[in-house]
Amino acid sequence: MVASVLRERIVSGELADGEIIGPQDDLLTEFGVSKPPMREALRILESEGLITVLRGNKGGAIVHVPRTETAAQAIDLVLRSRQADPADIATALVRLEPVCAGLCAERPDRHDNVVPALEAAQRDVEEHLDDPFGFIRAARDFHAQLVFGCGNDAMAVAVGALERLWTTAEQEWAGGAAGRGEFPGLDQRSQGVKAHRRLVELIAAGDAAGAERAARRHLSAAQCHVLD
């Protein structure tokens, strides 16, 4: 019961990120329980990443509002325990991220809250065209902006978590590819830049179907290097 009540207070926003709950004596009085069940409740919440228990005489805990990173870590653990192939993550992204692109194009406020962010991310990509590792980092940032700009919190969190997992796989691939001389050349990176530009144009024009198609083509082409 204690864990459920405190969990709801955190996810509902009643308790803010970084806020301290406690001290322990106050919690014991509020919930009318003894120390063992209170310690167990705090242990459960800490294992869920929602709090960090404060050690010492007074006790209590620091609140951590759930973030996309938390979801990514949880999904990563599940996928690793199931020995999932990176291709599974790639397939999920090529199906779901284009939906985010379409949602971006459908936003009535896209010219204020979506297109400027994508254009800024795209400029960063172009500035790193001659820097392979910087290019990968900037390109992943562009895709993150695309996902989190879709305006649908459920899609943003779910696809954002997959984006982070794919970023890890891509970084591991990049290190090995550079050593083997298999890193995509300037011409291939330039094609990626053009694909990004076209995607931004379609989103700005409000062409949801076109944005989805363009995103799907681009993702399929970009992922083949990592999965080969």
Residues 179-216 have pLDDT tens digits of 676 677 788 889 999 999 999 999 999 999 999 999 99
**Tens-place pLDDT, residues 9-52:** 999 999 999 999 989 899 999 999 999 999 999 999 999 889 99
Q: Residue 187: what pLDDT?
A: 87
Q: How far apart are CA 159 and CA 80, in angstroms?
A: 18
Are residues 76 and 54 located together in one domain of the fold? no
| Dihedral pair phi/psi, residue 150, rounded to 5° | -70, -20
Are 104 and 170 within one domain? yes
Tens-digit pLDDT profile for residues 100-129: 999 999 999 999 999 999 999 999 999 999
Q: Kindly report the number of other CB atoms within 10 A of residue 119's CB atom.
A: 16
Containing domain of residue 164, as a range? 68-227
76 and 45 within one domain:
no
Predicted confidence at residue 7, as pLDDT, reads 96
As a whole number of angstroms, the distance between CA 35 and CA 30 comes to 12
- What is residue 178's predicted lDDT score, i.e. its pLDDT? 63
CATH of the domain at 54: 1.10.10.10
Three-state DSSP state, 53: strand
Q: Which of 63, 87, 107 is the last residue of a domain?
A: 63
* Whether residue 76 sits in one domain with residue 173: yes
